[in-house]
Chains A and B, each alone.
Chain A
């Protein structure tokens, strides 16, 4: 049994990552990547979303929905995917990743698109496996799962934020005081994170170059009474689901759960509230017909 780091080191080429960063973030990425080391949270996501699911990846045509900076698309390719299609609405990432892919002649391609185009993308690219990492909080996840159910896709790999079936385990600062078990929970968040507001409802407001969305690129933010930025809850809505809800949804739609694993405990992560609270759950699902 290899450790997460041993698996990483035997599959991931750090020089490739430096080149990816250069293509995406430009020369400013040099300092970021100079002493790059994968942290515990990144290794956890790599292990549980990619490395442990090789039977659904090796030799398969894989689509990574919401591929972000493409690291996990690249990891899927390194774990044997015959071809990887990354889908991401931010052109800054898509352009950089395609440039990186061309330079290294890798079996990957990236498309600037939203999740709503999933049903046509899986047909067009003859996709056998779909990876969705952390997409459930940003998109109408159920709709995309039904798209997959109706397609010829064989496998789905999910990294979900799943609320445990006990309120005690959830930090109230994250979701407020009420936790409706068995249902989805919509939480308004402050739309000040450059990564968070990738909202299909506001795709026309994205920066034409980077694809990043801001509250309103045509006007200044509202300044509050104390002279500071008004951080009222705004347009970014996250959906969180309980484990019970996810389980029932998968049963109802007919996906077969081949593997599932819940995060064993909180993992420090400066970006992911879910990882910091220990709320990730991974699934490897078979889209069984008949």
Chain B
């Protein structure tokens, strides 16, 4: 059974001592949404809707390229079908591409990489219940 699912992430960039404003891509199933930051500390909400099979559903936010002078990206909040998932957002992992290291519960990407969270186990707690 296909379930149409909408995920939104509020993200911000943190240029720090880096020189390039990053671009990020939100992916859910075969659908993506992209954003290129245009100023430091900019907040932006990315939204993507996808038809998914029931069960595990991975949401990922990744840098659009691996240039190492890009600033950091922080995930501030996550919404599933419009409902804030709250603390469950920390059941995530961040893999830095340059080192291959994966850190759990990190919502701040200080270097290019991919941030992932499985929303499958959270899918039932939204909407009319």
Q: Which residues of A contact B (CB under 8 A)?
A: 17, 21, 24-36, 38, 41-42, 68-69, 71, 92, 191-195, 207, 210, 212, 214-215, 220-221, 223, 226-229, 269-272
Type the 1/0 row for B1-26, where 1 means its CB is closer than 8 Å to any CB of A: 00011101000000000000000000
Interface size on B, residues (CB 8 A): 27
Residues of B with C-beta under 8 A to A214: 86-87
Whether the Cβ atoms of A195 and B125 lie closer than 8 Å is yes
Task: Tell me which of B5, B79, B84, B124 contacts A270 (CB under 8 A).
Answer: B124
Residues of B with C-beta under 8 A to A223: 104-105
Residues of A with C-beta under 8 A to B125: 193-195, 270-271
CA distance A43 to B125 in the complex (A): 16
Taking A212-B84, A221-B90 as contacts, is the C-beta distance between A228 and B105 under 8 angstroms? Answer: yes
CA distance A41 to B127 in the complex (A): 13
Residues of B with C-beta under 8 A to A34: 4
Residues of A with C-beta under 8 A to B82: 21, 24-29, 32
Whether the Cβ atoms of B6 and A28 lie closer than 8 Å is yes
Dominant SS at the B interface? mixed
Taking A26-B82, A31-B5, A227-B103 as contacts, is the C-beta distance between A36 and B128 under 8 angstroms? Answer: yes
Task: Tell me which of B49, B79, B104, B127 contacts A229 (CB under 8 A).
Answer: B104
Q: Which residues of B contact A (CB under 8 A)?
A: 4-6, 8, 47, 49, 79, 81-88, 90-91, 103-105, 123-129
Residues of A with C-beta under 8 A to B86: 192-194, 212, 214
CA distance A42 to B83 in the complex (A): 18
Residues of A with C-beta under 8 A to B83: 25, 194
- CB-nearest residue of chain A relative to B1? A35
Residues of B with C-beta under 8 A to A192: 86-88, 91
Besides A21-B127, A223-B105, A227-B103, 16 more A-B contacts (Cβ < 8 Å) are: A17-B128, A21-B82, A28-B6, A28-B81, A29-B81, A31-B4, A31-B6, A192-B86, A192-B87, A194-B83, A194-B125, A207-B84, A220-B90, A221-B87, A227-B104, A270-B124
Taking A28-B79, A31-B6, A272-B129 as contacts, is the C-beta distance between A228 and B84 under 8 angstroms? Answer: no
Dominant SS at the A interface? loop
CA distance A35 to B105 in the complex (A): 33
Shortest C-beta distance, B59 to chain A (Å), equals 13
Whether the Cβ atoms of B87 and A270 lie closer than 8 Å is no
Taking A69-B128, A228-B104 as contacts, is the C-beta distance between A32 and B88 under 8 angstroms? Answer: no
* A-B pairs with lowest CB-CB distance, top 9: A270-B124, A25-B82, A28-B82, A194-B86, A31-B4, A32-B81, A228-B104, A229-B105, A31-B6
Shortest C-beta distance, A165 to chain B (Å), equals 28
Taking A31-B5, A69-B128, A270-B124 as contacts, is the C-beta distance between A194 and B85 under 8 angstroms? Answer: yes
Whether the Cβ atoms of B105 and A227 lie closer than 8 Å is yes
- CB-nearest residue of chain B relative to A28? B82
Interface centre among B84, B86, B103, B126 (most CB of A within 10 A): B86
CA distance A194 to B124 in the complex (A): 12
Residues of A with C-beta under 8 A to B105: 221, 223, 227-229
Residues of A with C-beta under 8 A to B85: 194
Whether the Cβ atoms of A31 and B103 lie closer than 8 Å is no
Whether the Cβ atoms of A42 and B124 lie closer than 8 Å is no
Shortest C-beta distance, B35 to chain A (Å), equals 17
Shortest C-beta distance, A64 to chain B (Å), equals 14
Whether the Cβ atoms of B128 and A42 lie closer than 8 Å is yes
Residues of A with C-beta under 8 A to B124: 269-271
Taking A194-B125, A223-B104, A227-B105 as contacts, is the C-beta distance between A28 and B47 under 8 angstroms? Answer: yes
Interface centre among A17, A27, A34, A194 (most CB of B within 10 A): A194
CA distance A29 to B129 in the complex (A): 14
Interface centre among B6, B81, B84, B87 (most CB of A within 10 A): B87
